Amino acid sequence: MPWEAAVWSIALIISPIVGNWTWPRLRYRLGSWREPLESAAPWVYSLLLPYLALLTGSIIGRDAGLYGHSLSNWVSAAVACGLGLTAAILLLRTRPLKLPWSHTLSETLREEPRWAMYRASAALWFVSFPVSVGIGASLAFAETAIWFLQEGKTDRIKLAAGARLLRAIFSGLLFGLTRNFWLTAATQAVIVTLFNMPRSEETN
């Protein structure tokens, strides 16, 4: 099972490389299917591969934080997420800038399943929970590095890559405190929504 989990994680990380190499050779042969497939591809990549890894038993849902939470776990995890949201709101009020979560909600919903799979894969190799969370974050960094190299080293991409790394760190910290995928993803989604809300500029 650990080796199977490693294979799924590697497949998830290198899928964008394979896609970028094969898609230009296929897209014009697909006719009217091209646009629907282009729209579905990010979701297939982010949701289908982790789901298949879970379905085949290559990773354990408990390690991904999908189940196994007692009522006291839910309460303590909710408190931790509430503190994270409070910190984000305070940061938003004091720094009216485009911050690391200023991207679309759909991107967040796609990121968290991938990062959860990396953590669950690492948990099969490392007994220590903090180590497995750290390895999961490292795999998320590797994923971001590949994305950065493919997209090009423009200033916008550099900022986006840095923001993505910070989101991965925050996701790892939240999961480290809660061990709960659902609350981690929900907290990230709420923060994204807050940071994308239109705000009027303060005037003196």
Longest Cα separation, the chain: 61
Q: Which residue has the higher pLDDT, 39 or 74?
A: 74
Q: Are 165 and 144 spatial neighbours (Cβ–Cβ below 8 Å)?
A: yes
As a whole number of angstroms, the distance between CA 55 and CA 129 comes to: 23
DSSP conformation letters of 122-178: HHTT-S-HHHHHHHHHHHHHHHHHHHHHHH---HHHHHHHHHHHHHHHHHHHHHHHH
Residue 122 has pLDDT above 80, yes or no: yes
Token look-up 């990121």 returns 111
Residue 114 has pLDDT above 70, yes or no: yes
pLDDT in the model for residue 99: 53
Question: What band does 201 get if pLDDT is binned at 50, 70 and 90?
Answer: low
Tell me phi and psi for residue 104, to 5 degrees: -80, 155
- List pLDDT tens digits, range 85-110: 888 778 767 765 555 555 678 888 89
pLDDT in the model for residue 102: 52
pLDDT in the model for residue 202: 47
As a whole number of angstroms, the distance between CA 192 and CA 105 comes to: 6
Looking at residue 50, the DSSP 8-state letter turns out to be: H
Residue 117 has pLDDT above 90, yes or no: yes
